[in-house]
Structure 1
Amino acid sequence: MFVEDFVKCRIFFKKRYCAAQKALLVFIPLSHFPLRDKVMTQQLNSQIFAYAKQLSDNAFKAHALTIRGLEQVAELQLAALEKQAQVTADFIAQAAEVRDIEALRGLWEKGTSLGREQAESAVAVTKEVVAVAQKTAESLNALLQEQQKAANEAVAAPVAAIKKAAAAAAK
């Protein structure tokens, strides 16, 4: 069958095309696959492309959520770093002005209170970072559940259609 199609193809091209086109098109045989196989292949390809599009869309959404969370964490950490740098610079400026023992004693007390405040600030920023990470994880989880729901519906719809068609054929 394949040889017959190839011969038909050559005869067809001899009648309709110039020599340059014949040279290229002689090697393209007529299809020996039934039309049913082509339709099935097209359906499969369209389903694969739809799933690939859905996957890339969801990956883009997940990436955007993750980047947004990272931006919020970076903003929190940079704000805390800026505040701590300012407080430290003020403390160093005061330390440079110390001239006697009483000023040194006051500076010592201020240094310990600043250390405590910076530790409390670091703990507060860490709590905020954990809250942002938890919020991002919840958003990603919601996106995953949405994707699973869409996938379940995509699988259930053809099954329901087949059951309905089978029930109609049985009547």
Structure 2
Amino acid sequence: MYQQFNEQFAAATRQFADTAAQINRLALDNAEAVFGLQIAAIEDRVNATFAFFGEAAEARDFEAFKTLWPKGVQIARENVERAVSTGQETFGRTLKTNEAIAELAKSQIESAAKTTQANVEKAAKAATKAGVAPAAK
């Protein structure tokens, strides 16, 4: 009896470890993708901003500053748009990852429920059989 319990426990532990590894892999892949998106967005916006600051440093008169104003507004608008776009893409990727993790958890719960149900039915049959056999003698 203990051997059967140990085997079931070892199988359940192995299954749990495999599932945990899959979940960790999904989470790390998502974190890597999100980090890459954010770094790319930051790099792009920093390059554009420093290019604008380079132009602003070369401006010497009022007319040059007047032409810089629309460029500055454009850079700011693009920075905000890129931040929003990156945020939305990050949210979408994270949502998909969470759905995949939830699906893994759901399949594990269903598998555990089926295994438990089968073990309960097996034990109930064994108990019924053991209870009927001594009474028949």
Q: Indicate the TM-score class for this superposition, using the shorter chain for normalisation.
A: 0.7 to 0.9
- What CA distance in whole angstroms lies between the structure 1 residues aligned with 2:123 and 2:87? 54
| Aligned-pair Cα RMSD in Å | 1.8
Shift of 1:163: 5.3
- What CA distance in whole angstroms lies between the structure 2 residues aligned with 1:141 and 1:133? 12
Q: How many residues align?
A: 130
Note if 1:154 corresponds to 2:115. yes
The TM-score normalised by the length of structure 1 is: 0.70
Q: Return the match for 2:63 from 89, 93, 102.
A: 102
Q: Return the match for 2:7 from 33, 37, 46.
A: 46
> 1:115 aligns to what?
76
Shift of 1:160: 3.4
Decide which structure has the larger Cα Rg and report it.
Answer: 1
Larger RCO, structure (CA 8 Å, separation 6 or more): 2
1:68-147 superposed matches below 5 A:
68-147=29-108
> 1:65 aligns to what?
26
Amino acid at match of 2:7: S
> Percent of counterpart pairs with the same letter?
36
The TM-score normalised by the length of structure 2 is: 0.86
- What CA distance in whole angstroms lies between the structure 2 residues aligned with 1:156 and 1:106? 75
